[in-house]
Amino acid sequence: MNKGIWKQSQFPFPDAVYNRSYNKKTISIRRLEKVIGKNKCFNIINFFDKWDLYKLLAPSNLKAYVPDTFLYNEVNISELLEKYKLVYIKPAYGFKGKSVYRVELTDHGDIHISLHSLAPRYICRKNESIKNKLDKLLGHNKYMVQQGIPMSQLDHQYFDIRALVQKGILGEWTVSSMACRVAYENYFNTSMCETVQDAAEILPRIVSPEKMEEIFQTIYKVSIEAAQEAETHMGSLGELSVDFVLDEQRKLWIIELNGKPQKDIYKDLKSLKHEKLIYSRPLEYAYYLSQL
């Protein structure tokens, strides 16, 4: 566009490409790489299969940070509830917390099934089949069952910690930001959050300075290792996010990885020290690839 008028022109192919199309397949990217060169595109696959990632992370050095996870159609859900009391059932291909169910076995033997909020949307009585109830809800899509983590809360609100991991001008992974998504009161879904705040503002309210420093160091180390592991499976990556929660004993757990992190969650972070970095680093990495 020139002075508000669209004009048709011809331009050379770019030297490197950051794939922002939310996709599971690589057909178009592979065709493009035949022209501009192999490994000149990154985030080729950014719609992650969470089950594949679990199988990748569970036997790795990060296994201590990964909750027990199973394929829904391969386990006895009643036995898992007896063991964990609380589980989350989520689609293997999911985003923004959609269709994530919180399933809790109560002290009275009833099972509460919640969606987004803590209030049960469905109640399965002791004499009812939880499997039949869930089968109707889930249909034939691929779902996982994840061990429920008793999460730390901030003023009675659940929160997670999102580490944005990016490659920069030197082609190396680094953590650009750590932000907390704070859910609405009486909600467990942090994707539908009330506020987004810098983790450096949230954590001092629930842990000591020494513990906070330990948590930050662990997030940095684990996030980069998780990105490296994901890249071995997904192919060339330049950006992803790692979502953590703290349990009641202040232990970190990886909840999931996202191949196309939401940038708009940072717009309300007035205290974000490196706001420009989250946008410039993918461009820097593209420049790095163009010079190879």
Q: CATH number of the domain that 260 lies in?
A: 3.30.470.20
Q: Are 112 and 228 part of one and the same domain?
A: no
Q: Which DSSP symbol is given to 117? A: B
Do 88 and 101 meet the contact criterion of CB atoms below 8 Å apart? yes
pLDDT at position 271, please?
60
Q: Are 98 and 156 part of one and the same domain?
A: no
Rounded distance between C-alpha atoms, residue 32 and residue 42, angstroms: 12
Q: Are 242 and 192 part of one and the same domain?
A: yes
Q: How many domains does the chain have?
A: 2
Q: Are 94 and 120 part of one and the same domain?
A: yes
Q: Is residue 281 part of a domain?
A: yes
* Prediction pTM value: 0.91
pLDDT tens for the 292 residues of the chain, in order: 678 888 888 888 899 999 888 777 778 888 888 899 888 999 988 889 999 999 999 999 999 999 999 999 999 999 999 999 999 999 999 877 789 999 999 999 999 999 999 999 999 998 899 999 999 999 989 999 999 999 999 999 999 999 999 999 999 999 999 999 999 999 999 988 899 999 999 999 999 999 999 999 999 999 999 999 999 888 889 999 999 999 999 999 999 999 988 888 887 676 656 678 888 999 999 999 999 8
Question: Residue holding tokens 């842990």?
Answer: 207
pLDDT at position 94, please?
82
Q: From its phi and psi, is residue 129 left (phi > 0), alpha (psi between -120 and 50) or beta?
A: beta
pLDDT at position 274, please?
63
pLDDT at position 217, please?
97
Of 127, 147, 167, which residue sits at a domain end? 147
Q: Are 174 and 278 part of one and the same domain?
A: yes
Q: Is residue 59 part of a domain?
A: yes
Q: Is residue 62 part of a domain?
A: yes
Residue 235, Cα to own-chain centre: how many angstroms?
Answer: 18
Q: Is residue 21 part of a domain?
A: no
Of 129, 147, 165, which residue sits at a domain end? 147
Q: Are 46 and 185 part of one and the same domain?
A: yes
Do 232 and 56 meet the contact criterion of CB atoms below 8 Å apart? yes
The domain of 156 spans 42-66+151-290
Q: Are 233 and 175 part of one and the same domain?
A: yes
Q: Is residue 2 part of a domain?
A: no
pLDDT at position 7, please?
86
Q: Are 163 and 111 part of one and the same domain?
A: no
Across-strand partners of 26?
A: none
The length of the chain in residues reads 292
Q: Is residue 164 part of a domain?
A: yes
Angle at which helices 77-84 and 130-138 pack, to 10 degrees? 110
pLDDT at position 1, please?
67
Of 94, 112, 147, which residue sits at a domain end? 147
